[in-house]
Amino acid sequence: MDISTLCIHGAENNTHHTGAISVPIYQSATFAHPGVGQSTGYDYSRMQNPTREYVEKIVANLEHGIDALAFSSGMSAIAALMELFSIGDHIIASEDLYGGTIRLFENISRKNGLQFDYTDTSKLDTVRSLIRKETKAIYIESPTNPMMQVTDIAAACELARSRGLLVIVDNTFLTPYYQLPLVLGADIVIHSGTKYLSGHNDTLSGFLVTNREDLSEKLRFIYKTTGACLSPFDSWLLIRGIKTLAVRMDRQQENALKVAHWLTAQEKVKKIYYIGLPDHPDYAVSIKQSTGFGSMISFEVDKEVTAKQLLERIQLLLFAESLGGVETLITYPMLQTHADIPLEERLRRGINDCLLRISVGLENADDIISDLDQALNGRRSLHGV
């Protein structure tokens, strides 16, 4: 079955006997037992809830996993994942991670005794040189946020396997529609479901997906014990959002390619980071391991004042954190998503005061471009936005 069909029909709907097309929202904290020592399979919603179970099955199937766990946010999923590790364990992570993930690792996980090294995980020789006896995992974001670096996931998995390490991949930007890390050899996939999976900028959620029974068992134990589960209503929003994942991803990517090409021709734009442009340094790896490029673009303008003016002048686009929804959002990573990273480190990675990041949405591409044009170049908008 094609993935676009799986997005709509990808899990068995146990409520089919009612004829309901939409999976019901089981807004129940607890479930009655038919008798002593008996269970309907549902006891308490922190452990199992039928609406959440349905979205978990869909996400597991889309990612080619055996289990998916739905969390109340992407960060709660990553925080729970860190509970797999013990004091002294060492993790090698992509250096250009989402700022919130670095904040978690540096302020909470380190306090709990974990150790981290950050590096460009696309450079496997460097990754190899950082492996030591305490190393337990390689944590990859690909493409990274916001500099769009791409790691060869299959090659990283081969290295990890030879050294007995787990590979964890944050697949938020490309989603299973364009990239399947578990098929490439990874052990665990992470999502901020807040982004493309839900797709409408209206709910937070997160997922951990695995294709290993042992990891599923450990993660389920952590899940029921720490409790950051996705609510029934938000699970339903995710189910609804995922139904249109395929069409949204394709159309957003089409728009992103147009926006990226337009940005390339702008005098005030000095650098563009979009993995769908053939001159992106990792283009060949993207073509090899993914079926699409997504719709996240970072770009650097000539001056700080140009970046700030653009943010003040946009009329249709929205100056907001987050990504992946139907609305086109522009972020200023320096002040928003990556504000907690020390200045020197941010600058070293290219996150300077001229860098902007766009999550290209589903509006008409010409409308997006004309708003950018008037905001960047002071030209009158073509479409009266």
Ligand X SMILES: Cc1ncc(COP(=O)(O)O)c(C=O)c1O
Binding site for ligand X (CB under 6 A): 73-75, 98, 100-101, 141, 145, 170, 172, 192, 194, 204, 206
- Is the separation of the CB atoms in 61 and 10 below 8 Å? yes
Structure tokens at 4: 């676009």
- Shortest Å, Cβ 81 to ligand X: 11
- Annotation says 282 is catalytic: no
- Annotation says 133 is catalytic: no
Listed in sequence order, the residues at least 6 apart from 111 whose beta carbon sits closer than 8 Å to its beta carbon are: none
Nearer to ligand X, 98 or 262 (CB): 98
Which is catalytic among the residues 26, 54, 98, 139?
98
Chain centre distance of CA 299: 19
- Shortest Å, Cβ 203 to ligand X: 9
Nearer to ligand X, 75 or 165 (CB): 75
- Annotation says 46 is catalytic: yes
Structure tokens at 46: 């922190």
- Shortest Å, Cβ 205 to ligand X: 7
**Chain residue whose CB lies nearest ligand X:** 74
- Shortest Å, Cβ 209 to ligand X: 14
Nearer to ligand X, 94 or 211 (CB): 94
Which is catalytic among the residues 26, 152, 195, 196?
195
- Cis, bond preceding 146 (omega within 30 deg of 0): yes
- The span from the CA of 103 to the CA of 106, in Å, is 5
How large is the C-alpha radius of gyration of the chain? Answer: 21
Which is catalytic among the residues 89, 96, 170, 187?
170
C-alpha dihedral (136, 141, 146, 151), degrees to nearest 10? 100
Nearer to ligand X, 68 or 131 (CB): 68
Q: Which residue has the tokens 């007995």?
A: 164
- Is the separation of the CB atoms in 139 and 93 below 8 Å? yes
- Shortest Å, Cβ 323 to ligand X: 6
Looking at the DSSP bridge assignments, the partners of residue 135 are 90
Nearer to ligand X, 263 or 323 (CB): 323
Indicate left, alpha or beta for 361 from its phi (over 0: left) and psi (-120 to 50: alpha): beta
- The span from the CA of 113 to the CA of 132, in Å, is 16
- Annotation says 98 is catalytic: yes
Which residues are marked as active site?
46, 98, 170, 195
